[in-house]
Amino acid sequence: MSSVSREGFTVRVLRNGPTSSAGVGFVVGERRIVTCAHVVNTAMGRAQRTQEMPGPNIRIQVDFPMLGDAGGAPLRSCRVEMWVPPPSSGLAGGDMALIGLVGECLPKGAGAARLTDLSTLTDVAVNVFGYPGDPLRQDNGAWALLRLRGAVGGGVIQLDVNSESAIRTQPGYSGSPAVVASGGGDAVIGMLAVASRDEDTRDAYAIPVSRLADAWPDVIGDVTIPPCPYRGLMAFTADDAAAGLFVGREEEISQLRQMVDDQALVVVAGPSGVGKSSLVSAGLIPVLRREGWVTESFRPGGMPFEALAKALLKVEQPAARPTLDDLAKWAGKLRSEGLVSLGSQLALLRGSPILLCADSLEEVLDPGTCPPETKSEFLNLVLSMQAAQGGLRLVCTLRADFLTQLLEHPDAGARLHDRLSTLSPMGEDRLERVIAEPAEAQGVRYEEGLIPLIARDAGGGGGLPLLEFALTELWSHQQRRLVTLAEYQGISGVTGALRAYAEQVYVELIRNFPEERIRRVMLALVRSRGGASEATRRIVSREWLGPEWAVAEALARHRLLVLGH
């Protein structure tokens, strides 16, 4: 089933008498429309904050302004079916009305909007429709562009006027759907309830879809897309584990937990994309925290001593913001006293055992990222973690294709005896759990036979990020809590979803940036040791990118790049 575009679900609520706008609304079912209660009051000629629900004989007129032809926009008559009155003052309260068609059904081209939870969205473009008075657009209406800021007090979300928008939101926008573009087409994250009345107040407030669903679960709940439980290209976190979204690695978590008891140093090695970071951050770390451990993670990068020093400072003073002098002091102490001694002191200070995780140890082994002398010195520090005593443990994740370089370091093989934990791709049975269980937790089902097909397409699990990305893209295409084969094929499956999405983003980016600027950023983020198969990620600073930072921000908005790691 194809989704309905904004033109098909947006309606205008008309005033009784003259054919002028009282506000806006949007279709949420075969015969139902949502708007603000104060818009209905305006349409009836009542005071906006009137509390009483209109009677069953009252008719509210709506039209579909973007589905009109030479004969005008399709007109329909409605009655109020459900009512949450406007707040008596301020923003907190209800201000929601559900109106149903009386007589005729929806016109051709109209249909229900896809409603989606906004909990996973930040800083995205939001479009709203209305009938502004400045500049005057009372005949045809106009779209305005906003940016989602986030939730504020009173259970509403704040939307800021986008600098690119030629028209600011005004009272004529009340009731408008707050529309975002997603992989499945236009989606609605909320309903505009309060718009700015003057030029100095350039923001607006919307009622999130979650509040509509809470008010009318039987009507709105079933058609609302719940928060996506998949993580795209990101690693799973401890919060994901607490929400029951990280599944399929219970055996490996248990084994790793035992190794941490027995060994001061553990290296988790596996192919790229197998889930090493997730195993530690969403598997081991939550277990240890429940047992009272203090945990901290870091990426060593090209300055591993400073990165480790920053992690130790966070252990010592969790709320402090370290200075450059602090980092230099602790990096010097690491070189002079060693990690075992400092770790023992910190464990005594905190009164708890400490786990440090060095994520992506291959960054130290890459000569293009880390100088050889620094690499050698840092590996000596890491491999000096011998006896399981002193209260400090170090777990490192390492891409399997870098294991040879690690073993080339003097005495590394002997020091890693019984300290190497290898991680392999999950089989199809466990991949089916990875697909099914997070969706079930959100009340979403897959069409029969689709889950085994997706698990087979994942190729044994070596491309776990590709699977998670495909599932994330697929999530927004669901209809009434059901994901179908047709929708899966529509995103080009596991192997094609990321490629198709990246090509789509690239086409959009070249409209705003010269191709050469995009190319420079992409090349800066990857270092190749011997072709694409041996490429490694690089952490690049804002200062290094300079004027190309705008390209990086655009990639981050499209979920292809992570900022502020």
Segment 115-149, tens digit of pLDDT = 987 665 566 789 999 987 655 555 678 888 888 87
Q: Are strands 32-35 and 21-27 parallel, antiparallel or unpaired?
A: antiparallel
pLDDT interval class at 199 (50, 70, 90): low
Q: Summarize pLDDT for 325-341 with one digit per residue, the tens.
A: 989 999 999 999 989 88
What local confidence, expressed as pLDDT, does residue 91 receive?
Answer: 61
Q: Is the pLDDT of residue 1 over 50?
A: no
Q: What is the pTM of this model?
A: 0.76
Q: Give the rounded percent of residues in the chain with a pLDDT score beyond 90.
A: 48
Is the pLDDT higher at 515 or at 45? 45
**How confident is the prediction for the chain on average, in pLDDT?**
85
pLDDT interval class at 162 (50, 70, 90): low
Q: Which candidate, 364, 368, 369, 356, places its Cα nearest to that of 398?
A: 364
pLDDT interval class at 164 (50, 70, 90): low
Task: Determine the average pLDDT of the residues in 369-396.
Answer: 89
Q: Which candidate, 55, 73, 56, 53, places its Cα nearest to that of 12?
A: 73
What local confidence, expressed as pLDDT, does residue 545 receive?
Answer: 77
Task: Determine the average pLDDT of the residues in 334-352.
Answer: 91
Task: Determine the average pLDDT of the residues in 476-491.
Answer: 89
pLDDT interval class at 532 (50, 70, 90): very low
SS3 of 489-547? HHCCHHHHHHHHHHHHHHHHHCCCCCHHHHHHHHHHCEEECCCHHHEEECCCCHHHHHH
Q: Is 304 exposed, middle or buried (0-12, 13-18, 19+ CB in 10 A)?
A: buried
In the block, tokens 């992690």 appear at 311
Q: Summarize pLDDT for 66-100 with one digit per residue, the tens.
A: 998 877 899 999 999 999 999 877 666 689 999 99
What local confidence, expressed as pLDDT, does residue 261 receive?
Answer: 92
In the block, tokens 């070249």 appear at 510
Q: Is the pLDDT of residue 400 over 70?
A: yes
Cβ atoms of residues 386 and 415 within 8 Å = yes
Rg of the chain taking only CA atoms, in angstroms: 28
What local confidence, expressed as pLDDT, does residue 320 receive?
Answer: 84
- Lowest-confidence pick of 300-309, 346-355, 366-375, 406-415: 366-375
Task: Determine the average pLDDT of the residues in 448-475.
Answer: 85
Task: Determine the average pLDDT of the residues in 338-356.
Answer: 91
Q: Give the rounded percent of residues in the chain with a pLDDT score beyond 70.
A: 86
